[in-house]
Structures are given as structure tokens and as C-alpha cells.
Chains A and B, each alone.
Chain A
Amino acid sequence: MIPRTRLAALLAPALVLVLGTGCGGGGASGDDAGTSGSGTRAEAARPDPNPRPEDALVRAGVTGVYGGRYVATERQDPKTWNALVANETSSTDITSNLLFEGLTGFNNKTQETEPLLAKSWEVSDDQLTWTFHLRRGVQWSDGAPFTADDVLFSAKIIYDETIHPSMAELCKVSGAPFRFEKVDDYTVRVILPEPYGPFLNVIGSIYIMPKHKLEAAYEAGNFESAYGVDTPPGDLVTMGPWTVAEYLPQQKVVFRPSPYYYKYGSDGKRLPYLDELIYLIVPDQNAEVLKFQAGESDEVYFRAEDYAGLKDGEKAGNYTVYDLGMEMATNMLWFNLNTGKNPTTGVPYVAPNKLKIMQDVRFRKAVAYAVDRDAISRTVYYGMAEPLYGPIPPVNKNWYCDDIVRYPYNLDKARALLDEAGYLDRNKDGVREAADGTPLSFTVITNADNRERIATGNILTDDLAKIGIRCIFTPTEFNSVITKLRDSFDYDAILLGLTGGIPPDPIMSANVFKSSGKTHFWFPDQKHPGTPWEARIDSLMNAQISLTDPLARKKLFDEVQRIITDKVPMIYTVSRPGFIAIRNNFAGLEPTIFRTWVLWRSDSVSYDPARARRELGLAQS
């Protein structure tokens, strides 16, 4: 027998540890310092010793009170603070919305291009020479003046292909770069080799970086690691509303207002209103939602699966769920129409008898009619997704075309099309065969890490079986899918999605539509367009690029959309909805479906619970 006292001594350290930590937590939950009463919140004074820029940008209708903190969450660490190096959302959410700006910007709400660092511009009659007038008196966050030299420096970097490949591609016309010239400190001239329709959209994606801080690093050949996330926050000079105050890897990024920001509210106050903006790094989606529900963050973007839970807790959690509509991303299925041969083995990528079936537009239309988009919406997206029939979803106001060919779910039509094309079930095994006996049996692959896509594929498989097409659905590791569609081309069909680029200009998806494109998924990298309709799309895409009248461009691009939906090289499924929940403490919100839903206008957000509740029509707490 062990005497009791001895046992207690053995267990004691463990108990103390547990009890000690249990008590420690009472005050640790982050309560905001602000008070909520009726009327507008009492404002904390913020000293602003710096002069107002001569050409300050005034945001019409934007008012607010200083102070407060907004906590958002991000799934991954930022990889860099360098806006010209960043190329995935966890970095660009920060660099291109909070830290740096371009000459022009895309307004997520109106979907129009608006002036930012350039206050105005004009273009010559031949559409080749653009002259930008920069805002005078604008300063970097360290007080250094912003001039044409910064613009020219940034332009030089984007053409350095080793640094930011995606920008270089966009900022060229027929392979030739734009020429940037400095007229004086506040005037920049950009000379194009040919007229270029997307120019104003593209020029805004060149984020202007501080030459006085980065030129030495660029000359020394280490521009990419300059402004890495290990840069001491004090050395990081920014142009956006925020500066980085603190970064703890895998934990949080803390932003404080830039003391020289050039934008003002219509109340004459220098933006931003908030004292602090925080991104918490939360790698797991469930944890992200729970963190919001526990009051540890102020916003969470979520999908249909979390809707019921979050909508129910609105009142108790003092937040509001905003239905943002459908996302820009498209989901589609395509068949491999590649007529090429493996160069080493000489074996065709796709067996010729199978290729013949997939090349048959009647077959593809039959498949398109067999996609039960309502069932996909019900089963995968809780009934909240919308059917998608074309490459440009309706949310893309500027470029969506209503006059496209649609394929609403209709198995009879699908069967009739297959009958008409001579695909009949000759041996009565439930699967149709072509005249030469080739069964209509296909392997469809998708990336195994995407639950929604797998569910979509299963519904599709069932419906195709009903019209006599056997579909062997095989979720595969993501990189294998990429290898198949980029290099080995040994697949029948792929179910995948594309996220829309911002700004949503046709130029962003030019390489999908053009037959020479590497992402012309169904048959990439063609020397000459293989079909007349692909040739037509090529010429339309080339023609619209050189038009500068948006309406004329749209007309041509509409025809591209019509051809795509008529020849159905890609069969579109659904658009998925997105939602954001925001604590009822903030006013001046402009949530949109584009990233980063609310924080694209972080400078106008104001911590003001009373005003927020008033605007939302809620009772004052």
C-alpha cells in the first residue's frame, strides 16, 4: 500500500500545472477598448503632424471616427511583403490591398477602373501614348516623396522575367513591352507598340514600389528576398493605408496606419480610421469559423457548408452575415481533344477511336445536357449554388454575355443527340457504342483534395450512366492532374476549376481561349488552330486586344463566349456562393465577392458600434 500522502506528492506537480493555467485565463480574451452607447462613439484623438498632400484623394461619402481594431483571419502565412514578387493570395491579400497601390485601381464594387496614384490621364488619338499625371505631395510611409522615378523603377522590375512572370506577360502587346518615360517628376508617359484594350486594367496591377528603398537590392540581384517577411517592420516603407507593425510567423500580422497616407474621408480626416488591423493566421477552416464565433476575430469568409451554423448565431454573436452572391471561379469538365502523339513513343495521346467520339460536338452537347446542375447545387452546396453555362459568370458585370447557348438538364435531349450521332447500345450492356464498336466509356479525373469537386463528379457519373455513357470517376493527387493536362496528355476528361483573375478582363483568360495557349486545356499549344471555330476564337481574341473601345471589345468577346458554349469544349457546372460574417461593430463596410471581401476598402472601415447597428437597422445594445 502506498500511503495517501505519498501519492498526493507524486500527483501534485501535475495538478498545480492544470489549476494554475485554469485560473490564468480570465482576462486574456481580447475585449475591445471601445465603448458602445447610443449615438456615435466618443473618438480618440489622433495627432496628425504631417501635411495634407496637394493632390490628396478624397473618398466621397466616407466618414468615420478614429480608433478601434479589426481582426481578420488568413489561412496561411504571407510569403513576402514585396507586391511585385507576391503571387498567391495569402501574400497578395496584404501586399496589394493594404501595403501598396498602383497608378489606377479596380473598384470591386462598381467593377470600374478608378484613379489612385495617378490623378488623371489622357491618351493620344492613335491610342498609343498614355500620359499619367501623378498626385503631387504624396509621400511614402517614411516621408520620402513619391515621384515618377518610383513608377519607372517598378516598370523596370515587372519586365524582369525572373521576378514576376505573370505581370510581364500581361504588360506586353504582341510580345513587345510598353515603354515608360519620365516627362517630369509628376508626369509619366507610357508608349505602346500597338493599341492595347486592357491597358488601363493592366497598368493598375503594376504596384509601385519605393525606389529609394529597393534599388540597391535590385542592383545587387536580390530584389526577391528584399522586403521578405523577415524584414524588420521599421525598414518596410509602404504606400497603402497601412504599415506592418509586427509579424509573428504562423501567428499574426499587425498593421498600423501609415502616417503619410494620401487618402482622406469626406469628413477631412486622413484615412484609415482604424488604429489597428490584425491578420491572424489560422490554418484550419473549422478553427477559423470557431475563432469568429468565440469573438476572437471580427470577420470570417465562408462557404455554403457553414451557412446554417453561422446564420443561426447572428443575434447571439452580435454579427451580420452578408450574402455576397456567386464567386468568380468557374468549374468545368472537358474532354481531351489532343490529336498529337507522344514524341518519344509515337503513340497517340488519345486512342484515335475514342478521340473521334470526343471530337463529336453532338457527344459533348449530350454530356452538357446530362449535367444536373440543380442536383449539384442541392447536394454539394446546400441548394445555394447557381447553374453556370458559360466561361464568364454573371458576377463579372463588364464581360458577362447573356446570349449564350445553355444546356439545362434534359436526359431525353441528351439521349436523342446520342441516337442521332449513331451511338447506340448495340450489345445491350447498358453502355452505348460507336459504329466501330468503341464503347462510350471514359475516365474522368479531378484533384482528390477537393471535396466539392468529388461530389460533383459522382453526381455526373450517375447521370451519364442514365444516358448510356460509362464514366470511371477517379480523384487523383493534384500534381498528377497538372502533369497529365500539361505534359503527358494521357487522360480522357478532367473536372477542374479556374479562379477568375482581378481585374476580370478577357486578357486574364486569353491563354485558355487561344489555341496556342498552354492553358487551352482541351488541346493546348497548337501550332495552327485545329478546327475552324478555334481559328475564329483566336482571331476574335487577337482583335479584341487591340480595340480600345470597351463596347467594341465586349462585342467580340461575346462571340467568343457564344462559340465556346456552342461547341462546348468545356462543359460548365455551377458557380458557388460565398458569404462573409462581420461583427456589428464596424461601419463603412463595402463587402463584395471579390477578394478581400471587406478589407479591399480597409481604409474606410470605422469602429463605431452605435453607427453600425443603426445602419444595419438593429436595436441599440
Chain B
Amino acid sequence: MPQLILKRLLHMIPVLLGISLLTFLVMQLAPGDFLSQMELNPQVSPEAIASMRERFGLDQPWFVQYAIWLKNIFFHLDFGESFSRHQPVFSVLSTALGNTFILAATAATLTWVLAVPLGVLAAVKQHSWIDKISSLVAFLGLSVPEVFLALLLILFAAKTGWFPVGDMVSLNHEQLSWAGKVADRLHHLVLPALVLTTVPLAGRMRQMRANLLDVLRADYVTTARAKGLPERTVIVKHAVRNALNPLITLFGYTLGALLSGAFLVEVVMSWPGLGRITIEALISRDLYLIMGSVMMASTVLIVGNLVADILLALTDPRIQV
């Protein structure tokens, strides 16, 4: 398997190259650039704008800009500089990526920890009240947009005062004890993680339920029961393990969905993550910041898919990576 993982990692290079080329092209096709906004300012002379455009390299044709960008990455590991912040892209994005990761990882964990048992329960007790409530919650979760849910929840936080209105830590975070800091962070994490969990939770729960129902009708489950195995063993050891496979495949996609969901939730809930920076960069057309952010998110996605494949191979011996 190690060679296979290596091979998959090597596959990443052309994929990332393709993504970067496409992103760069799309950015160039859209009208205007970082300096367009400044052109509307009556106090800035056209000569000054021309000289800034030249210094940022924006006067070059797009393929020259792209080639320079690639060259700097390959030879200097330099992802360029943010136009607006005059700072290397990597240093702007790294802490933000960490924060987004905390949020996405919490949401992913919550999703799986809740979805699997709830799905199993709903399947085993099909048509019971727990099944009905869980499907009601699932439909609600699937139909309410994340942005709206986020707004509702911060309204809830503001009105009740039970939760902070956005942000990652309190103002007095530094003065808190070690345990207080952890509690403070968790307290701030609850609502954004809840928003991000809702949608995938609903989907995964329904999938788990459907898969398990299918499996429970399979011949080998009947055989196991006929052999006189305890029901718990039948379900946990035989049925659930088989029903889990398709969900593991979905793990990689979940990560992608969480990242894109996090983009909107971060803006509404003032979470200091990658999404906020990226949206701001998109609006101001901060080219290399956008490129850096897209490349980071793509890498996370591809690695997520790889991890999902490896997990699948571990749980199902029939599958080769």
C-alpha cells in the first residue's frame, strides 16, 4: 500500500496544476483587477495606477503572470504576495487555515459521532417515534440553508445571551485560566459547529439508515440470526460494518462540503478562517491571495479523498487502494 499512497500523492501534482490554471484563467476572464476599485477614486492619477499595475505585474499577459507564479512556487516555495496587505500569501493564510480546520474537524467529528448511531437506531427501530423524529430533523436540516441557520443562531445567541455572538474567543480570553481558555473556545465553537454539522448530519443519518435497512434484509444477516447469534452481534459486527462502506467513501466529500459551508458560516459568525479571507480577496481581486487559498483548500480536499480511500481499504479487505 505505501507505493500506492505515493502514487496517489504524485497524482496530486497534475490535478493541482490543472486547478491552478483554471482558477487563474477564470480570474483573468472576469473584468477588472485589484486596481479597478482605485480607478474610481478621483484623487488617484492614471499614471500612478499604471505604475502600480506594472509593479504588481498586472500589465503582463496572463500566461506570463501564471508562469512567474508557478516558477516562484517551484524554485522558491514562494506563493506570491497579497496586493492589499503587502505580506506573503502563505503567512496570511496559514493561521486562517488552522482555524477553519478546527471548525471543519469539529463539525466532521460531530457529524459522524451523531450520524452513525442515530442512523443505526432509526433503521433498527424503523417506524418508531425515534425514526420519525430523526427523519423530521433530517428534512429540516437538509432544507434550511446554512447562512440562514447561522443568522438564526446568532440572533438566538444575542437574544438569550447563552452563547457569544460570533468570534472564536472572548475579549478577556488572555486573562482566563488554562481550563477557562478551553471552555471559552468550546463555548464559541458550539454554534458555528452546530450550523456546519446540521446539513451533513441529516444526509449521513439518512444514508446510514437506508444502508442498514438494505443490509438487514441480506441473506447473511438471516443466516446469522438463524445460527442463533445474539441480535447485538448480528447488527454491530455484521450488519453495521457492511452498511458503513458507502459512508466512508463519502467522507472525502463531506470534508469538501464542510469547507465550502465554512466559507459562509465564517463570514456570518465572525470566525477567523480561510473563507472570510478568500471572500474578501475575491471582492478586492487580490489575485495571489485567492490562488493561495484555492490551492490550500484543494490540497485539503484531495488529501481528504485519499484518507477516505485508505480508510475504506482498512475496513473492507476486498478493496484495494
A positions within 8 Å CB-CB of B: 1-3, 6-7, 10-11, 13-14, 17-18, 20-25, 27-30, 71, 76-77, 79-80, 85, 87-88, 161-162, 165-166, 168-170, 224-225, 228-230, 248-252, 278, 280-284, 286-287, 290-291, 293-296, 477-480, 482-483, 486, 498, 501, 508-512, 517-519
A252 and chain B: residue at smallest CB distance = B171
Which of B49-57, B70-78, B202-210 lines the interface with chain A? B49-57
Given A251-B168, A283-B280, A482-B37, A14 and B48 touching (CB < 8 A)? no
Within 8 A of A (CB), among B109-151: 110, 113-114, 116-117, 120-121, 124, 151
Q: Does B18 contact A (CB under 8 A)?
A: no
**How far is A250 from B236 in the complex, measured between Cα atoms in Å?**
45
Q: Does B155 contact A (CB under 8 A)?
A: yes
Q: A165 to chain B: which residues have CB within 8 Å?
A: 38, 44-45, 48-49, 51-52
**How far is A467 from B163 in the complex, measured between Cα atoms in Å?**
55
**How far is A169 from B124 in the complex, measured between Cα atoms in Å?**
75
Decide: B158 and A291 in contact? CB cutoff 8 A: yes
Most buried by A among B41, B43, B162: B43
Most buried by A among B31, B168, B236: B31
Q: B30 to chain A: which residues have CB within 8 Å?
A: 477, 479
Decide: A287 and B117 in contact? CB cutoff 8 A: no
Q: Which of A28, A79, A479, A508 contacts B170, CB < 8 Å?
A: A28
Given A2-B236, A249-B96, A287-B270, A7 and B42 touching (CB < 8 A)? no
**Besides the known contacts A162-B52, A290-B158, 6 further A-B residue pairs in the complex with CB atoms under 8 A apart:** A23-B183, A250-B273, A280-B167, A483-B36, A486-B36, A498-B42
**How far is A612 from B8 in the complex, measured between Cα atoms in Å?**
66
Q: Does B40 contact A (CB under 8 A)?
A: yes
Most buried by B among A21, A80, A509, A511: A21
Q: B184 to chain A: which residues have CB within 8 Å?
A: 24-25, 28
Decide: A25 and B42 in contact? CB cutoff 8 A: no
Q: Supply 9 A–B pairs (Cβ within 8 Å), ascending by A.
A: A10-B116, A24-B186, A28-B184, A282-B166, A283-B279, A286-B154, A287-B165, A482-B36, A501-B42
Q: Does B164 contact A (CB under 8 A)?
A: yes
**How far is A195 from B208 in the complex, measured between Cα atoms in Å?**
80
Given A166-B41, A283-B276, A511-B43, A25 and B183 touching (CB < 8 A)? yes
**How far is A278 from B113 in the complex, measured between Cα atoms in Å?**
38
Within 8 A of A (CB), among B6-60: 30-33, 36-49, 51-52, 55
Decide: B273 and A287 in contact? CB cutoff 8 A: no
Q: A6 to chain B: which residues have CB within 8 Å?
A: 232, 236
**How far is A20 from B106 in the complex, measured between Cα atoms in Å?**
14
Decide: B168 and A287 in contact? CB cutoff 8 A: no
**How far is A20 from B151 in the complex, measured between Cα atoms in Å?**
24
Q: B161 to chain A: which residues have CB within 8 Å?
A: 29, 294-295
Q: B318 to chain A: which residues have CB within 8 Å?
A: none
Decide: B87 and A287 in contact? CB cutoff 8 A: no
**How far is A284 from B91 in the complex, measured between Cα atoms in Å?**
24
Decide: B232 and A3 in contact? CB cutoff 8 A: yes
Decide: B189 and A21 in contact? CB cutoff 8 A: yes
A169 and chain B: residue at smallest CB distance = B45
Decide: A1 and B52 in contact? CB cutoff 8 A: no
Decide: A291 and B165 in contact? CB cutoff 8 A: yes
Decide: A251 and B117 in contact? CB cutoff 8 A: no
Decide: A79 and B84 in contact? CB cutoff 8 A: yes
Q: Does B311 contact A (CB under 8 A)?
A: no
Closest 4 CB pairs of A and B: A24-B183, A479-B32, A165-B48, A250-B272
Chain B 285-306 per-residue mask, 1 if CB under 8 angstroms from chain A, else 0? 1000000000000000000000
**How far is A519 from B43 in the complex, measured between Cα atoms in Å?**
9
Decide: A251 and B169 in contact? CB cutoff 8 A: yes
Q: Does B157 contact A (CB under 8 A)?
A: yes
Decide: B91 and A230 in contact? CB cutoff 8 A: yes
Q: Which of A2, A21, A508 contacts B232, CB < 8 Å?
A: A2
Decide: A296 and B186 in contact? CB cutoff 8 A: no
Q: Does B238 contact A (CB under 8 A)?
A: no
Q: A27 to chain B: which residues have CB within 8 Å?
A: 180
Q: A283 to chain B: which residues have CB within 8 Å?
A: 266-267, 270, 276, 279-280
Decide: B164 and A28 in contact? CB cutoff 8 A: yes
**How far is A224 from B84 in the complex, measured between Cα atoms in Å?**
10
Decide: A479 and B285 in contact? CB cutoff 8 A: yes
**How far is A361 from B267 in the complex, measured between Cα atoms in Å?**
46
Q: A508 to chain B: which residues have CB within 8 Å?
A: 42-43
Decide: B117 and A249 in contact? CB cutoff 8 A: no
Decide: A287 and B166 in contact? CB cutoff 8 A: yes
Q: Does B172 contact A (CB under 8 A)?
A: yes
Q: Does B95 contact A (CB under 8 A)?
A: yes
Decide: B87 and A14 in contact? CB cutoff 8 A: no
Decide: B164 and A225 in contact? CB cutoff 8 A: no
Q: Does B257 contact A (CB under 8 A)?
A: no
Decide: A21 and B187 in contact? CB cutoff 8 A: yes
Decide: B121 and A2 in contact? CB cutoff 8 A: yes
Decide: A169 and B43 in contact? CB cutoff 8 A: yes
Decide: A282 and B270 in contact? CB cutoff 8 A: yes
A78 and chain B: residue at smallest CB distance = B85
A215 to chain B, nearest CB (A): 18
**How far is A248 from B121 in the complex, measured between Cα atoms in Å?**
44
**How far is A80 from B85 in the complex, measured between Cα atoms in Å?**
6
Q: A170 to chain B: which residues have CB within 8 Å?
A: 43
Q: Does B86 contact A (CB under 8 A)?
A: yes
B116 and chain A: residue at smallest CB distance = A10
B114 and chain A: residue at smallest CB distance = A14
**How far is A611 from B33 in the complex, measured between Cα atoms in Å?**
50
Q: Which of A76, A224, A519 contacts B86, CB < 8 Å?
A: A224
Q: Which of A18, A20, A161, A295 contacts B47, CB < 8 Å?
A: A161
Given A28-B184, A294-B161, A511-B42, A284 and B267 touching (CB < 8 A)? yes
Decide: B86 and A85 in contact? CB cutoff 8 A: yes
B81 and chain A: residue at smallest CB distance = A225
**How far is A14 from B180 in the complex, measured between Cα atoms in Å?**
20
**How far is A291 from B170 in the complex, measured between Cα atoms in Å?**
12
A18 and chain B: residue at smallest CB distance = B190
Q: Does B313 contact A (CB under 8 A)?
A: no
Q: A85 to chain B: which residues have CB within 8 Å?
A: 86
**How far is A162 from B32 in the complex, measured between Cα atoms in Å?**
20
**How far is A11 from B114 in the complex, measured between Cα atoms in Å?**
7
Q: A21 to chain B: which residues have CB within 8 Å?
A: 183, 186-187, 189-190
Given A28-B184, A230-B87, A1 and B36 touching (CB < 8 A)? no
**How far is A510 from B187 in the complex, measured between Cα atoms in Å?**
53
**How far is A505 from B163 in the complex, measured between Cα atoms in Å?**
47
Q: Does B235 contact A (CB under 8 A)?
A: yes
A509 to chain B, nearest CB (A): 5
Decide: A286 and B91 in contact? CB cutoff 8 A: no
A419 to chain B, nearest CB (A): 37
Decide: A80 and B39 in contact? CB cutoff 8 A: no
Q: Which of B45, B113, B163 contacts A25, CB < 8 Å?
A: B163
Decide: A518 and B272 in contact? CB cutoff 8 A: no
Q: Does B216 contact A (CB under 8 A)?
A: no
Q: B236 to chain A: which residues have CB within 8 Å?
A: 2, 6
**How far is A519 from B121 in the complex, measured between Cα atoms in Å?**
67
A260 to chain B, nearest CB (A): 25
A447 to chain B, nearest CB (A): 10
Q: Does B268 contact A (CB under 8 A)?
A: yes
Q: B215 to chain A: which residues have CB within 8 Å?
A: none
Decide: A294 and B157 in contact? CB cutoff 8 A: yes
Q: Which of A1, A230, A252, A278 contacts B231, CB < 8 Å?
A: A1
**How far is A295 from B84 in the complex, measured between Cα atoms in Å?**
32
**How far is A609 from B289 in the complex, measured between Cα atoms in Å?**
44
